[in-house]
Structure formats: structure tokens, C-alpha cells
Amino acid sequence: MIMETSVDLLLRWAHIFPAIVLIGGAIGGSLLAQPAVAPMARGAVIGGIVVMLGTGLSMMMSAMATAPKGWHMWFGIKFLFALHVFAMLFLLTKPGVAPEKRKRWQISAIVGTALVVFAAEYLRHLRGA
């Protein structure tokens, strides 16, 4: 059983919380009929992506040395899907986009996030955490 330090827990929190806020915000906005993209959206999305990349790379560095067979491949899969989600989030900060196009980006962000979180859980399972 791998003991997680408080730093690990803080990193994991700082990795997951922005994902909830960003992806929830990008999707929730349309469900709550928010008429327009908030001016601060792009800054918030870029800030969140930087935090998730930073915490993600730091967790990768600490897991990689002892990671079992298959972990690196699954990490690569997770990383590629994460980049896709980041791209969708960034596109969703564009004002004045046709509603049907926004809907496509939102659905693509949700599906991408579902695959990312599955891969994340599988990574943890592979490490026996």
C-alpha cells in the first residue's frame, strides 16, 4: 500500500479541483442559460490549464520512477485526451460562436473528460494506490 504524504494529497487536490471548476463551468454555463462568455473566462481557463499541467507534471515525476508496466502508456493516453479537453475549453472562451458549434465543443469536452478521468483512475489502480 503506497502511503501518500500531505504534499501528494495537496497536489492531487490542486489537480482535480481546477478540472471540476473549469469543465463544470464550461458545461454548466450552457445548462444555466448563461447568455454570453464572461470576459474573464479566457484568463481563468489559461490559469486552470497551467495549474493542472504543473500539478500533473509534478505527480508524473513522483510516480514515474516506480511506475509499473503499462503506466507510462496509459499516462500518454491520458495526456493526449487532456490536451484535447484543454483545446475544447480554450475554444469555448471564444465569444460570438454559433450555439450549435458551442454545443459540439461542450459535448466533446465532456466525453474527453470522461476518458481522462477513467485513465486517471486506471493509472492509480496500476500503482496499487
Q: Is 45 in the site for ligand HEM (CB under 6 A)?
A: no
Q: How far is the CB of 4 from ligand HEM (least distance, A)?
A: 9
Distance, CA of 43 to CA of 24 (rounded, Å): 16
The rounded Cα 114 to chain-centroid distance in angstroms is 10
Q: Which long-range contacts (CB under 8 A, 24 or more apart) does 29-37 make?
A: 30/102, 30/103, 30/106, 36/95, 37/92, 37/93, 37/94, 37/95
Q: Is 16 in the site for ligand HEM (CB under 6 A)?
A: yes
Q: Is 11 in the site for ligand HEM (CB under 6 A)?
A: no
Closer to ligand HEM by Cβ: residue 96 or 118:
118
Binding residues (CB under 6 A) for ligand HEM: these are 12, 15-16, 19, 52-53, 56-57, 59-60, 63, 79, 82, 85, 113, 116-117, 120-121, 123-124, 127, 129
